[in-house]
Structures are given as C-alpha cells and as structure tokens.
Amino acid sequence: MNVLSLTLLGVLFSSLLTGLIIFFLKEESHRLRTWLNLLGAGLKLVLVVALLRGIYLGKTYAWSFEFLPGLPLALGADANSMLFVTLSTVLWFWTTLYAVGYLEDSPHRSRFFGFFSLCVTATTGIALSANLVTFLIFYELLTVSTYPLVVHRGTAKALQGGRVYLTYTLLGGAILLLAVAWLYSLAGPVPFKERGAIEGLMVSHRRELQWLFLLFMAGIGVKAAIVPLHGWLPRAMVAPAPVSSLLHAVAVVKAGAFGIVRIVYDVYGAENAAELGVLPPLAIAASVTIVYGSVCALFQDELKKRLAFSTVSQVSYIVLGTAILGPLAAIGGLVHLVHQGLLKITLFFGAGNYAETLGIHRVSEMNGVGRRLPLTTAAFTVAALGMIGVPPLAGYVSKWYLSKGAVTAGDHWVTVVLAASSLLNAAYFLPILYRAWFLPPPEKWPAEHSFGRWETHWMLLAAPLVTAALVIWAGVFAESAFSPLAWVKLIAAREYGP
C-alpha cells in the first residue's frame, strides 16, 4: 500500500467515514455535523485535485483486494473516471452547503446527512471502479443509500415515490447483475480498458454479446432514465431539493449515463460495439427519449416535474453521443455529462429556493419572482438558457459537438432530433423566464420566509451562484486547457485515436 493507492482510497473514505460518524451524532449537534460535512466534502475535493495532478503528471493509481476467490474488488483512476469523480465531488461540496441551509430545523438530519454521504461514497466508487464487478457493487450501493433520502419526509407521497424508485432500480439492478454474472462466466472479472475488454469473444460469442448488450442497457438504462424505463424519475420529485440535485446532477442519473459510457467504451469498445450492430438501436432509443422527455416537460405545471422530464431528455444526449460512432460525437456526449450536471443542479437549486423562500412550487405561481429573488433567478436564467443551447453557454458546446459528430458519422437525422429538442427546450423554459422577469408579482407569496440581509439564506444563495458561474466558465472557456471540454477531448482521443 503506497501513497498513490492511499490517495485513491482517501477519495472514497473521506465521505464514507464522515457518513458513518454522522449517523451516530445527536440530532442537536448541528454545528459539529455541519463542520464534519464540510470537512469531508472539502477533504475529498483536495484529494481529487491531487489525483488530477498525479494523472496529469503520468502516475497510475490502482488498488485491488480479493473480494471472493478470483473476484477482485479493484479501484483505479483513468481519464474517464476522473471526469465523473471531479464533477460529482465539486457539485457535492456545493450540494452539501445547500442542504445544510435547506434542512435547517427539520427533523432527522443525522439520518439524512449520513445517507447523503454514503450516497456520494457510492458515486465515487462507481467512478473509480476498475472492473465491472466493482462497478456493480457500488451501483447497487447507490440504490440502497438513495432510498432513505427519497422517502426522507415520510409522507404518503414520499413513500409512494420511494417505492416506485426502489422497484425500478432493484429490477434494473437484478438485470445488471445477471448481465455481469453472465459476462463474468464468459470472460472473468472484465477490467475496464480503453477500446474494450472483450476482443477475444467477438468471433466466438457474437450472439451472446448482443444479448448481453441489451441486458446491460436495460439494467443501467433504468438509472439513466431511458424511455420507457424513466417512470421513477418524475415521481421521485417528492424528495427535498438537495436530494433532487443529487438524483439529477450528482449521483443517480449520472451514474446511469456514466455506466452506459463505460459499457460502450471500456467494456465493449466503440468499434466492437459498432461491429456488433448494437449502437444504432441505442441511438434510436436515446433520440426517442430526448424528444419524448421534452414533450412531456412542456405539459408540466409543477416546476420540479418539468425539470425532471427535462433531465430525462437531457441525459440521453450523453447516451446519444456514445451511440454515434466517432470522436466528435463522443466529445459531445461526454462533455454533456459535466454540462448537464452543472446546468441541472443550478436549476434545482433555483427551484428549491423558490419553494423554500416563497413557497412556490408551480410554474403558474412564478410571476415576478425575478424581482423578489433577483440573484437566484439570474442563476436560474443562465442555466435555462444553457439548456436551450444559447451560445456561449455550456449546453451550446455539447450540442455543437453532437451535431458535428452526427454529420461526420453520416447520421443526418440526429441533427433534426437535436434541433427539435432545442426548440422544445426553448418552448418549456422561455415561458418560465418570461413570467419570472416580465410579469408583475402577486400581492402576497404563497408562504414567504425572510432570511435577513440576503434575498434568501446565504447558503441557499451561494450554491446556485457558484454553479451558474461554472456554467458560464464551461462554455466561454471551453477551448482553454482547464475546461471539461479539454479533458473530454483527451478521453475521445484515447478511445478513437490511432
């Protein structure tokens, strides 16, 4: 065990230990819990930066442990995993801050933050998994640790939403387990490798590999909310706002999308997958999801529900980018993993602020909120415009590369899908912005709270402002060396390079 593998484990344990300690804290020790939370999240951030620097300098990080005979639990850090781990760690820090402000004075906070930390531990584990079995283990852990967060409020609706969530994800998990065990019986533990790890089976087990691909997509597609497996996501909206951010931007949906990227690039290899003919159906499923999600979002009056359907649609951009062969589309898909996270978390922070400060839950109640919460609404606006794909914001960069990739690959119909989706995005986001800024506010808000100096609690305000700034940065400085795009180009070059 050397310093390198210790750093790797440190990234995992910084949140695991925090979570375990928090479970045993008394409900009243608010200050201690907050410090522990921020300390864990901060430490994780520092370790991730160290990891990034190490990888940049060409060090390799790996750690493994024989979990069962012939079955290693292996962690490692490659370019792909760093993309996801950095995203979730950065967003995690701000979500924690936000959650502390959001849940002030609500019951069962130790339970909440304990599971919150376990949840990010599982996400980090998913990102750092170096083989398929390890991925499966953390993937299931994520399911378990999210459920208590979804049902946190304990209302009949929350429990119902939780039940739907668990039903979908456990079914998906069982299918994934079957797929992993089947592939294991053919090829061993399957370490993740650029350009795929199943070369040897391509000729002898063609038919099996095709079936396996279907099983993998069905299993992971539940978390990635691919239509028709998306039903749980809009219903999980009953959870508190920080949990929604977690589901949509940091952990769950992202884990699904990341899993699909892993399966296509690092288990099958994009070229092998194309050879097997499994990518076109995936591209079609993703396109259907993109359009369907946007159309559904149009008809939602509940703000969080509208955002949820928007997630259904947006996450499939990542899947679409993965399913189209070629480096450009890959860049578009992968970079959207980061961009969608930044955009959607800002939107959910905004929605949470409207609900917490003014008691607003519906789009139809949002008239004039821009005057009462100008900073929150500004952040919300930036993210909404980014989603639509207005240059130079983050969403534009993703869509640009996706369409360029599709044209290069000869899939011209994809550009039509992207254009339609952008129009639909505009159709469901612009009316919100119009109401917020240009319509007069009502005489009285549904349930207004006052938080002193700022328009809302400072923790609730800081988080969306920072993430909105990141949205602008990821778009404006996309071509600089320190941007998600630069990192993603590196991954694509390795997957498709000479």
Partner 1 sequence: MTPAWFMGGLILGPLVAAALAFTFPKRGRGMACAAAGVVGIAVTALIRAVLGGGVSSHRVSGWGAPLGIDLRADGLAVLLLALTALIAVAVTGYAAPYLRATDSPEARHRERYFWPLLLFLWTALNALFLTRDLFNLYVALELLGFAAVALVALEGKGDALRAALRYLFVSLSASLFYLLGVALVYGQCATVDLALVAGRAQPGPALTVALALMTGGLIAKAALFPLHFWLPPAHANAPAPVSALLSALVVKGAFYLLLRLWFEALPVFHTPAAARLFGMLGAAAILWGSINALTQSRLKLLIAYSTVAQLGYLFLMFSLMTGRDGGFGAWCGALLLLGARACAKTAMFLAAGNILRAAGHDRINDLAGIAQVLPVSAFALGLAGVSLVGLPPSGGFAGKWLLLSAGLREGQWWGGAVILVGSLLAAAYIMRVMTRAFTPAAPGTAVRPVPPIMEWTALALALVAVGMGLAGSWLAELLRVGGPWP
Which chain residues interact with partner 1 by CB under 8 A? 66-69, 71, 111, 136-138, 140-141, 143-144, 148, 151, 154-156, 159, 162-163, 166, 170-171, 173-174, 177-178, 181-182, 184-185
- Tokens 């922070």: give the residue: 349
Residue closer to partner 1 (CB basis): 50 or 170 = 170
Residue closer to partner 1 (CB basis): 71 or 465 = 71
With left for phi above 0 and alpha for psi between -120 and 50, is residue 324 left, alpha or beta?
beta
Residue closer to partner 1 (CB basis): 91 or 166 = 166
With left for phi above 0 and alpha for psi between -120 and 50, is residue 70 left, alpha or beta?
left
Q: Which residues contact 365 (CB under 8 A, 6 or more apart)?
A: 442, 446
Residue 209 C-beta: closest distance to partner 1, Å: 15
Residue 1 C-beta: closest distance to partner 1, Å: 16
Residue closer to partner 1 (CB basis): 177 or 476 = 177
Residue closer to partner 1 (CB basis): 186 or 420 = 186
Residue 273 C-beta: closest distance to partner 1, Å: 22
Residue 245 C-beta: closest distance to partner 1, Å: 22
Residue 127 C-beta: closest distance to partner 1, Å: 16
Q: How far apart are CA 292 and CA 284, in angstroms?
A: 12
- Tokens 């612009």: give the residue: 430
Coil, strand or helix: which one is 490?
Answer: helix
Long-range CB pairs of 169-175 (<8 Å, 24+ gap) are 169/143, 169/222, 169/223, 169/232, 170/143, 171/222, 172/218, 172/219, 172/220, 172/221, 172/222, 172/223, 172/229, 173/139, 173/140, 173/143, 173/219, 174/219, 175/215, 175/218, 175/219
Q: How far apart are CA 432 and CA 363, in angstroms?
A: 7
Residue 305 C-beta: closest distance to partner 1, Å: 23
Residue closer to partner 1 (CB basis): 163 or 195 = 163
Measure Cα distances from 95 to 103, 248, 335, 352 in Å: 12, 12, 21, 12
Residue closer to partner 1 (CB basis): 3 or 181 = 181
Residue closer to partner 1 (CB basis): 139 or 487 = 139
Q: How far apart are CA 381 and CA 365, in angstroms?
A: 17
Residue 471 C-beta: closest distance to partner 1, Å: 35
Measure Cα distances from 268 to 37, 136, 262, 290, 451 in Å: 38, 16, 9, 24, 53
Residue 100 C-beta: closest distance to partner 1, Å: 21
Coil, strand or helix: which one is 359?
Answer: coil
